[in-house]
Structures are given as structure tokens and as C-alpha cells.
Structure 1
């Protein structure tokens, strides 16, 4: 059904669930898969006050987390014999969702898979939702995968990598 599946990942447990679902679908459909991580760098300015980190250190950590997530995705693609690729992109002033939109068009994706925290109310307003932003302007089908607990996400990945013998 789908030929080119793109999945947005960021190293979170939500992204693990989304990646597992994207791999499952790609395996079923014989589709190509592309894992994309978009990092937002914070400006290199002085952050006064307690609890604030060094912006350069924050940016390095964010990029390292994204690279580790993409390396894990690449390993899973190999283990599942999928034609997969990964990309690390920098967010621009239009945001992560817009960058994912551009990449999905450039790559020719026919399905986008994204995870969601399932936040609502003030929490969603304050923290935003990349999945919701992407969905509002999507011109391809979008599969939204909800947050699952860590053990369930790990089982999903294990099941995708080594499905039970029939």
C-alpha cells in the first residue's frame, strides 16, 4: 500500500514507538523507509539564572541524542532488511514540522509516521505539538502513534526485529 514511509524521530520513547510502527508497516508493504530527526538549536546567548544550561552544551547534547536515535534506526533497518536511510536536519525559523514537511516532499514520502505525547490544555499550549503542526498542513497520510510505556516500546521493537516463528 505505501511505498515510501518517513518517520520523525528524536530519541524519545514516543519516537521509539513511532519507529517500530513505521518499520512494521515498511516490512509488510516492502516499502522504503526514511528516519528523519530535526534539531532545534538554541541561540548562543547568555542564559542568566539558576537552572539554565550553557546553550552550546545544550546544542551538542541535542545533536548527539538525534545522531544516536538515527544510528539506532539505521541498525534496525539493517536487521529488518529494509531499504532505509536517515537524515539529520537543522530546524529553521519555520519550525520542526515545516522542516519535516519539506523533507517529506523532497523525498517523495507517501506516509509520515509521528509519535505524540497526547498532551492537552495548557501543557499542549506551552510545549506545542510537532505532530499536530505537521498534521494541519499535511498533503500525505499521517499516522500518529501515541505514547506507550518503555517496556511496551521495547517489546514492539523486539517484535519487529525478530517476529515470532510461524
Structure 2
């Protein structure tokens, strides 16, 4: 069963069990899937669905932070619940230790030594992390810290 099929099956289950919070989140995912499929004019494969989910997760994280800063704890909690639901469909995130070892290895392999090399290192690190879940901002921060030191 593909990730897309699993999402749609879970949507049907949420509809039957009247799980409104889950249903709303999965309907939002379905709408985003359909929109993306119309844009690319083919059915999305698992990698494309994972990329779409990562984008939706980032949007939920940013919205939750904004609501929390604005004093709307109720809306922040709702966004956080959607975020956790979406994360359950993705593989486990890369650990901080593993990420640091990958960045260190790539810096050594590319011979990067200054902040000017951030782009080259980021490209290689993200290529190694393909198919795995890692926060791009965290990767970038780590690369910047290692190259600035």
C-alpha cells in the first residue's frame, strides 16, 4: 500500500469513526495531494507525497509558533495536533548525532573550510538525507556552525 493509499484509507476510517480532528487534517492533506497532482499532471509517488507532507508539516509548525506568540493557545494546540498527525506518516527523523556525523563527513569529503562553502556542503548533505526526514533549517544551522568555527 502506497503512502497516498494509506492516507486516503485513513481518511475513510476517520469519516466512519467520526474522528473530526483527524478527519479535518486528512481532508486538508487530500486537498493538497489533489492540487499537487493537478499541477504535475500525474499521480504522486511516495517520495513526492513525503515531500508534500514535509511542506505541510513546516506550515503547521510555523502556524503553531505564530499562534503561540499571538496568545492563541487553542489554535496553537490544534496546529500542533495536526503536525503530530502528519509526522506519523513520515519515517522517523534523523537523530542529532547522526546528522552531525553526516555533516562532519561531508565537510571532510568536500574539503570545505569557510562559510563560502555552505551551498556545496548543504547540497551534498541533503543528497545523503534523501528519503529520510531532516529539518533543512537545522541542517543549515549545523553546517554554518561547523564552517564558522
* TM-score, normalization by structure 1: 0.26
Which one has a larger percent helix, Structure 1 or Structure 2? 2
Larger Rg: 1 or 2? Answer: 2
Which one has a larger percent strand, Structure 1 or Structure 2? 1
Q: Higher RCO, 1 or 2 (CA under 8 Å, sep at least 6)?
A: 1
